[in-house]
Amino acid sequence: MKKTWLLTLFFLLTTKATADIVSIDLTVPELNVDPYHKPYVAVWIESPNRNGLETVAVWYEKDDWLKDLRQWWRKIGRNRTSAYDAVTGATRKPGNYIIRWDSKNKPAIAAGDYWLCFEAAREAGGRDFIRQKIELGHSEAQTFLINGDIELGQIKISIQP
């Protein structure tokens, strides 16, 4: 127990923590399909070697269908159910939504390069998976604009140090 605490303290003291605010403007597009089901959406942070680190947001209705967010489920979802309780919400209808994530007080997220990942899956619909390389702990603001394929529309990522 004491050894674990000392290793954690060493990690915190030797790792440059980030204090970035990541703001994501995400579009759920309007699709002309019948029946229309609102998509399940997951947003998360991965390390450079693609290990899931932190769930930023998960929109869903029934736990049974979370595994349809295949990438997120394999990396984070099935192993850390309590880790994403605070960032969950109901599925959303078409429109623009803002998701904010503050890296402050996240000791596992040190300054450096990461992947910001987006996945959407819809019953009787398609699937989108998008990754954007980001740098946390950078001294200047960053902005990225990416487009989804079917289930996700335009995504704007703004990172403020």
State pLDDT tens for residues 104-154. Answer: 877 778 899 999 999 999 998 899 999 999 999 988 999 999 999 999 999
Q: What is the CATH number of domain 16-160?
A: 2.60.40
- Which is higher by pLDDT, 65 or 4? 65
Structure tokens at 87: 């960032």
Closest of 4, 99, 13, 90 to residue 54, by C-alpha: 99
In tens, the pLDDT along 10-21 reads: 444 344 556 799
Cα 68 from Cα 65, distance rounded (Å): 6
Residue-wise over 8-24: b if at least 16 C-beta within 10 A, else e?
eeeeeeeeeebebebbb
User: Long-range CB contacts (< 8 A, 24+ apart) of 46-49?
Assistant: 46/75, 46/114, 46/115, 46/117, 46/131, 47/114, 47/115, 48/112, 48/113, 48/114, 48/115
What residues form DSSP beta bridges with 27? 96
**What are the extents of the domains in the chain?**
16-160
Please give the model's pTM, rounded to 2 decimal places. Answer: 0.85
